[in-house]
Structure 1
Amino acid sequence: MPVTLDADAAAVYKAFQEAGRPAYETLTPDEARAYYLAARVVTNPEPPELAEVTQLTIPAPHGAIPARLYRPTTLRQAGGFAPALVFFHGGGWVIGDLDSHDVVCRMLAHEAELIVISVDYRLAPEHKFPAAIDDAISATQWVADNAAALGIDPTQLCVGGDSAGGNLAAVVALSARDADGPTIAGQVLIYPATDFAMSHPSHREPETSVLLTHSVIRWFRDHYLTSAADEHDWRASPARAETLAGLPPAYVLTAGADPLRDEGNDYAQRLRDAGVPVTDRFFPGQFHGFFTMGKLLPQANVAAAEIGVWLRALNAE
């Protein structure tokens, strides 16, 4: 499909090009992590004031999982308990951490008036698939099990994330459905990676190779997966799940200049076909990763506000 970047997105892309931004596939994972974190300082908007930000340590079979709890100044509560969003950061399962998505989590807590718990799952290539999945599932279960102590209503527990984090959120929702996990009230899937086959048309369009290119995706895949067979595992490719019926309501965000655009749209349609309530939001003139760039891209702040509205309406049902 024809893709034309919005004026502000085009300006940001040009600035990255002129700055000599190195391609991640030319870097080591450690170098890529440092570069990704440094870029957030330039692109993140000013964070809203919150009532509390607390470091957490979540016990798990492999060892402790670091996490961070965000409590907004305006918090929707009933009987002292509030809705919550367990958030998984993006970064291709290789880069990103609590700090790279700190401002995003603050904004979501503020906009949705709920508690956000960000999970610092293990990264590849040091910890390959399914380590990130195991951490995401363990962390979500721990939050549900400790909801009372955290001031959370376990019946209003949502999961969400961007890119690789959207993948993890989708898989957590599937696992909770199939493995007698916690009740998931909703899933926020921000330009999610859903199918490692990478066969959708948007993977072949040159207009979608903006910041996230096809070679970068392959670099992430090769660091994350252990073999080609993993691509067909629904825990890596949630679109390969036999059925999406019985999953919680979903908010699915996609961007026009994004290799993952079509697989995100297809996942939203499959959810809808399976009877799952879906709100899908398309930002045609934005590129993959724009959601964290609210200082430079006003549409990112629009998206955060709209997700907040969706979560408030979901929790009110």
Structure 2
Amino acid sequence: MIDHALFDPATIDPETHRLNAEIVAAHAAQADPWSIPLSEVRARRRQGTQASPAMPRSARAETVVIDGPDGPLSLRLIRPDARKWKKLRGAYLHIHRGGWVWGAADEQDPWLERIADACGFVCLSVEYRLAPEHPYPAALEDCEAAALWLAGPGKAEFGISALTIGGESAGAHLAVMTLLRLRDRHNLPRAFRGANLNAGFFDLGLTPSVRNWGETRLVVNTQDLTTFANDYVRDGIDRRRPDVSPLYAELKGLPPALFSVGTHDPLLDDTLYMSSRWAAAGNGGHTAIYPGGCHVFVRYPGAMTERALELIDRFLMALA
């Protein structure tokens, strides 16, 4: 049962209030991302902006190249600290955020380093093809290929048995869709032991919280999320088909999931609806709701972020 007190504005701490105001002000001071070329937006995101400072790239990162559906597919790999972990305990397949349109496999190295060192997991992030140049199902096909490789040759190469998967926003969407493809196309419903799903975009037809959010860009707004969905899915495709929006899929037989979301996230309904359907399917897991948290609030340092990351660490460690 969800604690309704989590949605009481009085439960939002001053640090979160201050952060949210700073994010809104920083976005308001920048050019609208849809008014400039997509290539420039991607470049600015990689360099970092006042609204979203770039995460440092890891000096430990390696690249693994596997066969993808459209040619070679790169996986960014970060191993745990060998001084702490003499043997790998498992693997975490990460799928990056960015609305299927922005982002890259090297833009969240600190998260992967943390999971690697806290859990003893080898972490891999998929460099999937981006829309609108490569619309649905290109990104999903790349993630499916990465998951199949990890569940087969990769599993043997690393000498591990415990596989986990996860992502943020569009990455959480692709993580769930990948699990569904493994179950339905490859008879591998439990190839992965669990899923870490942060602020997922699970209904490309748009849930009420997305439609009603408005213009305020607290990381993203209604226009942003609508444009992401439009760029990813071609005209004429039903946005609420189960193979497009996992909220409408049959979810039985999937692994436990940790759902995380803030109450000030336009995608709040996506997590509330999806986690309820996940539980109703008997898959198990936990839903963590954070008062005042913005979209993928774990991107920003703070006490609430640390609590959320610690819960993710514990969830993944329990699966090994």
CA contact (8 A) 1:203 1:260 kept: no
Whether 1:66 aligns to 2:66 is no
Q: Say if 1:27 and 1:291 are closer, same or farther in 2 by CA, change over 3 A.
A: farther
Question: Relative CO higher for 1 or 2, CA cutoff 8 Å, sep ≥ 6?
Answer: 1
Alignment of 1:257-272 (within 5 A): 257-272=264-279
Whether 1:110 aligns to 2:114 is no
Give the match for residue 303 of structure 1: 308
SS at match of 1:66: strand
More strand by share: 1
Give the match for residue 244 of structure 2: 236
Give the match for residue 57 of structure 1: 65
Structure 2 Cα separation of the partners of residues 250 and 131 of structure 1: 24
CA contact (8 A) 2:24 2:216 kept: no
Give the match for residue 26 of structure 1: 35
Give the match for residue 160 of structure 1: 166
Structure 1 Cα separation of the partners of residues 311 and 8 of structure 2: 25
Q: Say if 1:205 and 1:186 are closer, same or farther in 2 by CA, change over 3 A.
A: same
Structure 2 Cα separation of the partners of residues 286 and 223 of structure 1: 26
| Structure 2: gaps spanning 5 or more residues | 1-6
- CA deviations on 1:118-138 (whole Å, 9 max, x unpaired) are 111000111011100000000
Structure 1 Cα separation of the partners of residues 235 and 77 of structure 2: 35
Q: Say if 1:70 and 1:76 are closer, same or farther in 2 by CA, change over 3 A.
A: same
1:110 deviates by 2.2
SS at match of 1:59: strand
Alignment of 1:195-234 (within 5 A): 195-201=203-209, 203-205=211-213, 210-234=218-242
Q: Say if 1:29 and 1:46 are closer, same or farther in 2 by CA, change over 3 A.
A: closer
Whether 1:36 aligns to 2:45 is yes
SS at match of 2:237: helix
CA contact (8 A) 1:141 1:181 kept: no
Structure 1 Cα separation of the partners of residues 56 and 307 of structure 2: 14
CA contact (8 A) 1:44 1:103 kept: no
Give the match for residue 97 of structure 2: 90
- CA deviations on 1:126-179 (whole Å, 9 max, x unpaired) are 1011100000000111112223553142x4111100000000001111111112
CA contact (8 A) 1:108 1:308 kept: yes
Q: Say if 1:279 and 1:122 are closer, same or farther in 2 by CA, change over 3 A.
A: same
| Structure 1: gaps spanning 5 or more residues | none
Whether 1:173 aligns to 2:182 is no
Structure 2 Cα separation of the partners of residues 66 and 181 of structure 1: 25
- CA deviations on 1:244-281 (whole Å, 9 max, x unpaired) are 11101111111111111111111111111111112111
Code of the aligned partner of 2:105 = L
Q: Say if 1:8 and 1:26 are closer, same or farther in 2 by CA, change over 3 A.
A: farther
Code of the aligned partner of 1:311 = L
Q: Say if 1:46 and 1:226 are closer, same or farther in 2 by CA, change over 3 A.
A: closer
CA contact (8 A) 1:253 1:280 kept: yes
Whether 1:126 aligns to 2:133 is yes
Structure 1 Cα separation of the partners of residues 202 and 40 of structure 2: 26
Alignment TM-score, normalising by the size of structure 2: 0.87
Structure 2 Cα separation of the partners of residues 58 and 311 of structure 1: 25
Q: CA RMSD in A?
A: 2.6
SS at match of 2:115: helix
Code of the aligned partner of 1:27 = I
Which of 253, 272, 286 in structure 2 is aligned with 1:279?
286
Structure 2 Cα separation of the partners of residues 3 and 24 of structure 1: 30
- CA deviations on 1:208-250 (whole Å, 9 max, x unpaired) are 8522100011111121111252412323210111x21110111
Q: Say if 1:173 and 1:76 are closer, same or farther in 2 by CA, change over 3 A.
A: farther
Code of the aligned partner of 1:268 = S
Identity of aligned residues (%): 27
Structure 2 Cα separation of the partners of residues 202 and 267 of structure 1: 14
1:15 deviates by 3.1
1:63 deviates by 0.7
1:39 deviates by 2.6
CA contact (8 A) 2:213 2:221 kept: no
Structure 2 Cα separation of the partners of residues 69 and 40 of structure 1: 26
Whether 1:312 aligns to 2:317 is yes
Alignment TM-score, normalising by the size of structure 1: 0.87
Structure 1 Cα separation of the partners of residues 109 and 317 of structure 2: 21
Structure 2 Cα separation of the partners of residues 280 and 254 of structure 1: 8
Structure 2 Cα separation of the partners of residues 56 and 94 of structure 1: 23
CA contact (8 A) 1:111 1:304 kept: no
